[in-house]
Amino acid sequence: MKTWIGVALAVIMALPVAAQEMGDDGLYKSPWMRDTFKDLREDLQEANAEGKRLVLFFEQRGCIYCRQMHEEVFSDPKISEYIENHYFVVQLNLHGDIEVTDFDGEVLSEKDMARKWRVLFTPNIVFLPEEVPEGVTAVEAAVAVMPGAFGKGTSIDMFTWVAEKRYDMEAETGEDFQRYHARRIQERSNGSFD
């Protein structure tokens, strides 16, 4: 009987990890990630039509920090629901060969686009505005970049900060992301969510 209880407990504990799907490319897949032709101009139009923000997720096969984000952060229903409701997510492979069309019209493989945008590690999350001026690259247009793996609190704060366009309010409020994040930590019972 103890063996059965131990097996049942192990299965239950593994459920959140097992829920993270792995694609043929070796990257973790979340249900809110979009499979597009990776023409960023079209992706931006589609995101805008849905009333969402375009965000690019650079990841790579075997990335322990990408796994950590998917298993510990994006598996949280509150965070996953927020991303799904507010963002149009396009995943890019740091070493991938799929062609990507940048906002400036240049077409490169994912890995060459990563070099162009100076993406050196994963995960790297690039948040785009609703409008990108002609001739500007995605990295030049980005309103924020989240370089690396962060905990739940920092992640939800960044996604919220961008969705609420708080980067446009910095001049009047004096609250850049770090100040916003510090305030949110205090509001979450003195940091218990981070």
Domains of the chain: 33-150 (3.40.30.10)
Detail the DSSP E strand segments found in 8-154: 21-22, 28-29, 33-34, 53-59, 87-93, 99-101, 107-109, 124-127, 144-147
| pLDDT at residue 181 tops 60 | yes
In single-letter form, the type of residue at position 62 comes to: G
How do beta strands 53-59 and 87-93 pair?
parallel
pLDDT band for position 168 (50/70/90)? very high
Which of 189 and 126 is assigned the larger pLDDT?
A: 126
How do beta strands 124-127 and 53-59 pair?
antiparallel
Write out pLDDT tens, residues 144-155: 999 999 999 999
Question: What is the structure's pLDDT at 10?
Answer: 47
Question: What is the structure's pLDDT at 192?
Answer: 58
Q: How far apart are alpha carbons 81 and 192 in whole angstroms?
A: 21
Asked if residues 126 and 139 have their Cβ atoms less than 8 Å apart, the reply is yes
Burial class (CB in 10 A: 0-12, 13-18, 19+), 43: buried
Q: Which residues contact 177 (CB under 8 A, 6 or more apart)?
A: 144, 157, 158, 161, 166, 167
| pLDDT at residue 3 tops 90 | no
